[in-house]
Amino acid sequence: MTADRESCAIVAENLHRVYVTGRRFSRKRKLIVAVQDISFVVPRGTIFGMLGPNGAGKTTTIKMLSTLLIPSGGSASVSGFDVVRDERMVRRQLGVVLGGDRGLYGKLSARDNLIYFGNLYGMKRDILRRRVEGMLDLVTLRDRAGERVEGFSRGMKQRLHLAKALLHDPPVLILDEPTIGLDPAAAVDLRAAIAALVPDHTVLLTTHDMAEADALCGEIAIVDKGLIVAQGTPEELKSRVAAERRIVVSTRGTLDGHASQIAGRVAALKDVSTVNHNVVEGDLVEWTILCGDTAVTLDGTLAILRGSQVPVQAVKVIEPTLEDAFLAIAGRSFE
Ligand SMILES: Nc1ncnc2c1ncn2[C@@H]1O[C@H](COP(=O)(O)OP(=O)(O)OP(=O)(O)O)[C@@H](O)[C@H]1O
Ligand SMILES: [Mg+2]
């Protein structure tokens, strides 16, 4: 943990949570360790992502941070308030969006839903009115704010959930799979709304979506079986899987027996580890080059091919994804 604690909105230390299932004294009674030992900090004004397969312990961690579950071990704080000892203060710091469809009144309009919840929070009437309009703008629902929520699409409801969580202006937002079940366009809209929350807010979100974590988060923890198996910026995580970084160049034209000579020159480029060439058909040849830096290698390779008067037909650059990072770290695929 590098960031100093004062500047951290969320601190989790050795969090541990066990669920007990089945009846007391029953032989079927089981202990499930959902979160084994999870520690991380989230600096203020940043977006932190928890990424991991089903059952990894993401929701359980989030529920402990939002005071909905008591940790079986370890501790956590939000804006310096302990999630067990200062539960009420923690709740004031937080806006929480958990998955699921509950939590909005279908018969009320979007605007009336927000007003209703604002009243529950005890917000003053004119402050609440202004705040509601501001939040409707933020999540781009102002045009539809007078309509009943039961007629809303999933994406609209999800945006309204976010507006509701922001109503009392909490500094910290916790979002459990905010874009799950949304079509690509709706997910893009919601991601934009989330991205706009920083640096004024701090966001902790969970997702299964690698591309989403990559696009939104400054820091990502990859969680598996109740443990953080890797953590870093998206770039750091991806750079761990160097073997996946490669370019594939297709050339068409006779090579006049120069193929191995060209391959040798490409192999001599900086940071190139392997060069393979295969004849696909006739004079169509595919060159696969594993390298450290795809941009530099591509430049060098194209220069060599041009110099040898070999016409290039297509180029593919393959960079590692977070999925590859997870595969390399956990030894299996995500789903
Ligand atoms: N209320 C519960 N009672 C018993 N076991 C539970 C309960 N909630 C979660 N678990 C178990 O704890 C483990 C972690 O679950 P959790 O919901 O935290 O995972 P998750 O990472 O959020 O998964 P998903 O991606 O599917 O949402 C799983 O093995 C799950 O079956
Ligand atoms: Mg979950």
Residues 6+ apart with CB under 8 A from 291: 245, 246, 247, 269, 271, 272, 273, 297
The tens digit of pLDDT for each residue in 73-108 reads 999 999 999 999 999 999 999 999 997 667 899 999
Query: Cα 184–169–196 angle (5° rounding)?
Result: 35
- 323 C-alpha to center of ligand 1: Å? 21
The tens digit of pLDDT for each residue in 196-213 reads 999 999 999 999 887 888
CATH homologous superfamily of 242-319 equals ACT domain (3.30.70.260)
What integer pLDDT is reported at residue 101 of this predicted model?
66
- 60 C-alpha to center of ligand 1: Å? 6
What integer pLDDT is reported at residue 223 of this predicted model?
93
DSSP 283-309: TEEEEEEEES-HHHHHHHHHHHHHHTT
Instruction: Assign a CATH topology to domain 44-73+82-239.
Output: Rossmann fold (3.40.50)
Q: Hey, what amino acid is at 208?
A: H
Q: Is residue 248 packed enough to be buried (19+ CB in 10 Å), middle (13-18) or exposed (0-12)?
A: middle
Write down the pTM of the prediction. Answer: 0.80
The tens digit of pLDDT for each residue in 155-172 reads 889 899 999 999 999 999
CA 50 to ligand 1: nearest atom: 21
What integer pLDDT is reported at residue 183 of this predicted model?
83
Helix (H) or strand (E) holding 317: strand 312-318
pLDDT at 2 > cutoff 60: no
Per-residue pLDDT band at 1 (split at 50, 70, 90) = very low
Judged by its nearest atom, the ligand closest to the C-alpha of residue 50 is: 1
Per-residue pLDDT band at 331 (split at 50, 70, 90) = confident
Partners of 220 in the β-ladder: 49, 232
CA 188 – CA 154 distance, rounded (Å): 14
CA 68 – CA 1 distance, rounded (Å): 25
Short-list 173, 181, 277, 218, CA closest to 2: 218
| Mean pLDDT score across all residues of the chain | 90
Domain boundaries, the chain: 44-73+82-239, 242-319
Question: What DSSP state is assigned to residue 109?
Answer: B
CB-ligand 1 contact for 22 (6 Å cutoff): no
Count CB atoms within 10 A of the CB of residue 45.
16
- 98 C-alpha to center of ligand 1: Å? 13
Is 242-319 the same fold as 44-73+82-239? no
